[in-house]
């Protein structure tokens, strides 16, 4: 059986945490607004963020220039602005997925590729769903949990209040949650036939990484996908997800054939290629503000 989630510790309530509790209350309320209102406010918030956070705007612009060099400046600028609008909508999606009602999304969601994954799970084989950091990830993760006993990996929050609140929200639908340092429990989950969702498309400093191409640009890429498959025998399955208007489309691809190989760089290149395909399906919904190419091979200048 997959690993059972650990019980949550009581949240901190001291005076120094009161501002966080107030912010959390506002987030919970935002997560319960009607979905059309959330989309409208999200697009407006994204437009404001485009102007208020110039450092992230420059990072996203640099990423788009590196990944889409053939686009003209006007097209890239339009994509940049659209990405900030989707970022704003995504912030409301996160709060709704954690603490709101997803019944409207359940009525219209389209899901493809479930049966092969259910078959693998029934056989007792672990499955690693590989995706990227899209703004739809939390909402689509919750919707996929309606269909599969899905566990996830995440980066823990620095604030103990937020950490407690988000884990409590996810505990309502996820089979388990593992911090990005909890590799052994995550591997046990896979070895016991669990399904784990993982997004390996950010530069995780201090981890085992290789420089694998992402849109043709060398990117520091964590080798954990290769290691998970090598050590647990799990199937590695690309998980595509995107928003179309007010609706969601989730698709599970075929398990990567011959994965893992003996070459961590080759396997990481295949994973990055799968994430590229996801990005091309919904380019404005990808988290372009992350400085994906900050760490460079020796001798190369940082682009940011």
pLDDT in the model for residue 9:
76
Structure tokens that stand for 234 in this block: 């799990």
What Rg, from alpha-carbon coordinates, does the chain have? 19
pLDDT band, residue 180 (cuts 50/70/90): confident
Full-model pTM: 0.93
Report how far residue 166's alpha carbon sits from residue 99's, in angstroms, rounded to the nearest whole number.
Answer: 9
Q: How far is CA 23 from CA 67, 68, 95, 116, in A?
A: 36, 37, 12, 42
Check if the beta carbon of residue 203 is closer than 8 Å to that of residue 295. Answer: yes
How does pLDDT run across 90-143, given as a tens digit for each residue?
999 999 999 999 999 999 999 999 999 999 999 999 999 999 999 999 999 999
pLDDT tops 90 at residue 12: no
How does pLDDT run across 264-279, given as a tens digit for each residue?
999 999 999 999 999 9
Structure tokens that stand for 173 in this block: 């639908």
Structure tokens that stand for 58 in this block: 């420059």
CB neighbour list of residue 255: distance below 8 Å, 6 or more residues apart: 116, 120, 127, 235, 236, 237
pLDDT band, residue 59 (cuts 50/70/90): very high
């Amino acid at each position: 059986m997959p690993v059972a989630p650990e019980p949550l510790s009581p949240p901190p309530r001291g005076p120094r945490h009161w501002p966080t509790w107030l912010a959390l209350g506002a987030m919970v309320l935002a997560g319960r607004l009607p979905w059309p209102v959330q989309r409208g406010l999200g697009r407006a918030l994204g437009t404001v963020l485009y102007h208020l956070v110039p450092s992230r705007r420059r990072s996203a612009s640099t990423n788009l220039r590196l990944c889409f060099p053939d686009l003209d400046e006007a097209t890239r600028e339009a994509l940049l602005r659209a990405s900030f609008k989707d970022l704003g909508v995504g912030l409301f999606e996160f709060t709704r997925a954690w603490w709101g009602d997803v019944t409207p999304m359940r009525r219209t969601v389209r899901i493809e590729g479930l049966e092969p994954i259910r078959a693998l799970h029934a056989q007792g084989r672990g499955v690693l769903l590989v995706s990227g950091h899209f703004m739809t990830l939390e909402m689509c993760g919750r919707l996929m949990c309606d269909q599969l006993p899905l566990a996830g990996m995440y980066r823990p929050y620095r604030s103990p209040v937020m950490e407690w609140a988000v884990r409590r929200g996810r505990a309502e639908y996820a089979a388990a949650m593992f911090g990005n340092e909890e590799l052994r429990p995550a591997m046990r989950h896979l070895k016991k036939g669990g399904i784990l969702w993982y997004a390996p498309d950010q530069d995780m400093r201090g981890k085992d990484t290789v420089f694998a191409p992402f849109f043709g640009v060398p990117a520091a890429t964590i080798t954990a996908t290769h290691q998970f498959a090598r050590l647990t025998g799990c199937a590695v399955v690309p998980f595509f997800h995107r928003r179309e208007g007010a609706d969601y489309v989730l698709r599970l691809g075929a398990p990567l054939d011959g994965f893992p190989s003996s070459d961590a760089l080759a396997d990481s290149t295949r994973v990055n290629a799968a994430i590229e395909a996801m990005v091309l399906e919904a380019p404005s919904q990808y988290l372009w503000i992350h400085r994906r190419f900050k760490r460079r091979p020796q001798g190369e200048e940082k682009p940011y």
